Amino acid sequence: MSKSINFLLTLFLLLSFNHVVTQCSEVDEFDELLALDDELEREKEHDGVKSSEAEVLTKAQRIVHELNNENTERIVNGYEFVLVLGYAPWCSRSAELMPHFAEAANSLKEFGNSLVLAKLDGDRFTKAASFLGIKGYPTLLLFVNGTSQPYSGGFTADDIVIWARKRTGTPVIRISTEKAAEEFLKKYHTFLIGRFDKFEGPEYEEFVSAAKSDNETQFVDVSKVELAQVLYPDIKPTGNFLGIVKSEPERYTAYDGAFRLDKIMEFLSYNKFPLVTQLTEMNSVSVYSSPAKHQVFVFANTDDFKNLLDSLQEVARTFKSKIMFIYVDINDENLAKPFLTMFGLEESTNTVVAAFDNGMSSKFLLESKPTRSNIEEFCSKLVQGSLLTYFKSQPIPDNTEAIVQVVVGKTFDEEILNSKKDVVLEVFTPWCFNCEDTSKQVEKLAKHYKSSSNLIFARIDASANEHPKLQVNDFPTLLLYKANDKTNPIKLSTKSSLKELAASINKHVKVKDQVAKDEL
């Protein structure tokens, strides 16, 4: 059965199996349903019959408790640990998260975890949503003995399971047999292994503290070297050891620092991701919160990315722990377009390589062909701090006949800052409600002052053009750049009449050779 069918089937079961639990449906009934599932499972194991996917999903539906206005308070206060998913049927991210939530419920039950998973249609049961403190969708909340705690893990089934187990008493999985090690490898593709002669002492305590502090990566500890080698073949035979394992060419990375919480967490933060991480809705929070000082984004279609991947991984290996490399499907509008818009490339279908510093306060663009050598040079300059910050710009316009000059990012220096004339600049955006009225006023002013030899009028579309010396957040904005002081533009009121604007201009600028042919 395909993944898409699995997704739709899970979603159908979670949304359509929407029984309302009445006042008589106490917690005991929920436990009876689980007991029934266990009995059926034992019978099928005895008969050698494997459960169908539909039956597994039906079981997940029973495990994921349905909340409503009547039973919510009783459920969250009736168990030690309850993880609640607040969703809305119309929310696409809720729909995407639900199958992962159901899968996590199955896995947690198999582990024997005491956590109860429950879901609430907050759009339908507003009273219950208000009681739980759910204000947006989807929302995950952990209730410990009735007290709410925010969810801080990832959004795949594995992420939910790891986070839940850590928060309910199992921050570290201990491996004691070869069979357990082999089973562990089947379930976990990324994990942090710690080998200790004894599970005690300062170094081990720091390891456990790191396991509790981390939200996304499974920690495992082992004592016997031969067992540790099943998980990490090249493990050191003596002394305490830490290493991270991932399912990719760069599979094993050993830790060589001090066994301190902060250092272990730093090592994990820089090494838990693949050499090249594909950005998805599910991992976006984790990716955006990465502490990596620099992030290089590659926007490409699937085929182009496959052709580039080997070279990209080689470059990523060179800059490991210095740059995080992220791939985004350029056809995914929700993920790619917000970034591409920052470069004025939202309509691009060709591969785009861009970079950001931590916090995305500065952005950079590879303006040459995305070959391995060009990407490597781009990354070297990024790390060295010698890349020029990218500011988006429209093409240079022809202003020969324009009464109001059109300025773009590339011409801002020449037309505004380096101009020997006084300049009135209109800063607008196409989506601005009041910009059209201001534009008409600017055009009338330009006609009024058209005979002036030292005063010009210009406009710039701030949605498509940037410049480090143009920091405007309100639109429309009118700025008067005086010829003798371009560093301190004077802000003119966009709510003034034409005569008031003219008076303000005349107050600050001595207009030369003016012949007023048009009355204001």
Find the helix or strand (DSSP H, E) in which 102 lies: helix 92-110
Confidence of residue 129 (pLDDT cuts 50, 70, 90): very high
**Domain span holding position 469:** 405-508
Residues 286 and 361 reside in one and the same domain: yes
Domain identity same for 246 and 216: yes
Q: Would you place residue 53 in the very low, low, confident or very high pLDDT band (cuts 50, 70, 90)?
A: very low
Residues with Cβ within 8 Å of 338's Cβ and at least 6 positions away in sequence, in order, are: none
- How many helices (DSSP H) and strands (DSSP E) are in the chain? 18, 20
Same domain, 296 and 367: yes
Residues 162, 182, single domain; the answer is: no
Rounded CA-CA distance 430/433 in Å is: 8
pLDDT at 359: 67
Active site (annotated) includes residue 24: no
Give every CB contact of residue 261 below 8 A, 6+ residues apart in sequence. Answer: 206, 209, 210, 213
Distance between CA atoms of 442 and 496, rounded to whole angstroms?
12
Tens digit of pLDDT for each residue in 56-104? 455 556 789 999 999 999 999 999 999 999 999 999 889 989 999 999 9
CA 307/CA 328 separation, integer angstroms: 15
CA dihedral 51, 52, 58, 62 (to 10 degrees): 20
Binned at pLDDT 50, 70 and 90, residue 310 comes out as: very high
> Which pTM does this prediction carry?
0.67
Would you state the structure tokens that stand for residue 163, as one six-digit string? 């986070």
The CA-based angle 417-419-421, given to 5 degrees, is: 120
Cα–Cα dist 325/329, whole Å: 14
The 10 Å Cβ neighbour count of residue 303 is 8
Same domain, 62 and 155: yes
- Omega into 476 within 30° of 0, i.e. cis? yes
* Residue 43: pLDDT over 60: no
Residue 359 falls inside a structural domain: yes
Does residue 305 form part of some domain? yes
User: Tokens 């008076």 label which residue?
Assistant: 503
Q: 332: closest CA among 278, 381, 406?
A: 278
Does residue 10 form part of some domain?
Answer: no
Same domain for 290 and 227: no
Query: In the block, which residue shows the tokens 């620099």?
Result: 294
Q: Interior CA angle at 255 toward 249 and 257, to 5°? A: 155
Assess whether 432 carries a catalytic annotation. Answer: yes
If you average pLDDT over residues 355-378, what whole number do you get?
91
Residue 356: exposure state from Cβ atoms within 10 A (0-12, 13-18, ≥19): buried
- Look at strands 241-245 and 252-254 and give their pairing: antiparallel
pLDDT at 500: 92
Q: Are residues 333 and 243 in the same domain?
A: no
Same domain, yes or no, for 248 and 290? no
Catalytic residue among 75, 116, 435, 462: 435
Catalytic residue among 15, 56, 91, 403: 91
Among candidate residues 432, 445, 458, 480, the one labeled active-site is: 432
Q: Does 103 map to a domain?
A: yes
* Residue carrying the six token digits 């047999």: 177
Whole-number pLDDT of residue 25 = 29
Whether residue 196 is predicted with pLDDT greater than 80 in this model: the reply is yes
Task: Note the pLDDT of residue 54.
Answer: 52
Between CA 493 and CA 112 the distance in angstroms is: 68
Domain count, the chain: 4
Give the pLDDT confidence of 173-182 residue by residue, as tens digits.
Answer: 999 999 999 9
pLDDT at 320: 84
End-to-end Cα separation, the chain, in angstroms: 73
What pLDDT was estimated at residue 1? 33
Secondary structure class of 435 (helix, strand, coil): helix
Looking up residue 159, the CATH number of its domain turns out to be: 3.40.30.10
- The last residue of one of the domains, among 272, 296, 325, is 272
Would residue 358 count as lying in a domain? yes
Say whether both 237 and 320 belong to one domain: no
Q: Which of 255, 272, 289 is the last residue of a domain?
A: 272
Where are the alpha helices (H) located in 214-350, listed in sequence order? 225-231, 261-271, 284-288, 302-318, 333-341
**Residue 281: pLDDT band by 50, 70, 90 thresholds?**
confident
Query: For 427-457, what is each residue's pLDDT tens digit?
Result: 999 999 889 999 999 999 999 998 888 999 9
3-state SS, residue 60: helix
Residue 12 has pLDDT above 70, yes or no: no
Q: Are 228 and 235 in contact (CB under 8 A)?
A: yes
Sequence-separated (6 or more) residues with CB below 8 Å from residue 164? 81, 83, 104, 108, 113, 115, 142, 153
Instruction: Return mean pLDDT, the chain.
Output: 85
Per the annotation, the verdict on 91 as an active-site residue is: yes
- 226-269 pLDDT per residue, tens: 999 999 998 877 889 999 999 877 789 999 999 999 999 989 98
